[in-house]
Amino acid sequence: MEIQFTTKDKKWIQKTIRKTYSKAAKNPGGLFRYPTGHEGLMALKYDPELLQALPAEVAASYCGVGNPFTLGPINAGDAVLDVGCGAGVDALFSAMRTGPSGKVTGIDITPAMLKRAQKNLSMTDLKNVRFEEGSVENLPFADEVFDVVTSNGALNLIPDKTRAFGEIYRVLKSGGRLMVADEILIGELPTEKNKIIKSWAQ
Ligand SMILES: C[S@@+](CC[C@H](N)C(=O)[O-])C[C@H]1O[C@@H](n2cnc3c(N)ncnc32)[C@H](O)[C@@H]1O
């Protein structure tokens, strides 16, 4: 069952996401219930060869919840979109896999995350990556332009999931693939968590 959110709820959710992830853009360490940074990448078994090529400061900004690359390959020449790219670590991994003949785009609603992603990109030699501001609920791309869409820890934050999946489907080429790592809630949200979420908004 999908929860129906009012426009006011959606604005509050986006404001709270921007506030939380602006903090994470500086340093995600200790902000989440799971390991972040280099420790998180190691625990999730990211490709050690690619991980070694990543500057330490870039790896430190990682706050994904899983490893979407376990779901399938990123091939040379692929056009890849990472939705909710955060500080861009997954987008940079994809770009190392596509090589210069491919291209990778990261999209996010939090300006501080995009600034960190741009800084991370400048610390690499990669030329085939760009980051832009936008929401997965309204992707600023033409139909059927990406071979692969990745997402890591972002779709759980989006109120209108039907619309988000519809947008992802629209921008994927025929035969394209969606590779998602995310958190799901099983059962009711504990009352304690509800209180915490409400306190974020103040
Ligand atoms: C867990 S972080 C992403 C981590 C990232 N994949 C990495 O490699 O470190 C989740 C991101 O989703 C973004 N986000 C939340 N709602 C969004 C939306 N509607 N559209 C795009 N991005 C969104 C947040 O701003 C945040 O940067």
* Rounded distance between C-alpha atoms, residue 119 and residue 40, angstroms: 20
- Here the tokens at position 158 are 């989006």
Nearest CA to ligand 1 atom 1: 153
Strand order in the sheet with 103-108: 129-133, 103-108, 79-83, 146-152, 172-181
> Residue 17 — pLDDT band, cuts 50, 70, 90?
very high
For residue 43, pLDDT beyond 60: yes
- 152 close to ligand 1 (CB < 6 Angstrom): yes
* Rounded distance between C-alpha atoms, residue 61 and residue 181, angstroms: 17
- Hey, what CATH topology would domain 7-185 get? Rossmann fold (3.40.50)
Q: Express each pLDDT in 68-123 by its tens digit.
A: 999 999 999 999 999 999 999 999 999 999 999 999 999 999 999 999 999 999 99
* Rounded distance between C-alpha atoms, residue 102 and residue 149, angstroms: 13
Number of neighbouring beta carbons within 10 Å of residue 5 = 13
- 63 close to ligand 1 (CB < 6 Angstrom): yes
- Here the tokens at position 173 are 């080429």
Mean per-residue pLDDT over the chain, rounded: 92
Nearest CA to ligand 1 atom 13: 84
Distance, CA 79 to ligand 1 centroid (Å)? Answer: 19
Distance, CA 83 to ligand 1 centroid (Å)? Answer: 7
CB 108 within 8 A of CB 84: yes
Nearest CA to ligand 1 atom 14: 84
- 93 close to ligand 1 (CB < 6 Angstrom): no
> Residue 35 — pLDDT band, cuts 50, 70, 90?
very high
The pTM score is 0.92
> Residue 151 — pLDDT band, cuts 50, 70, 90?
very high
Q: Which pLDDT score is estimated for 1?
A: 57
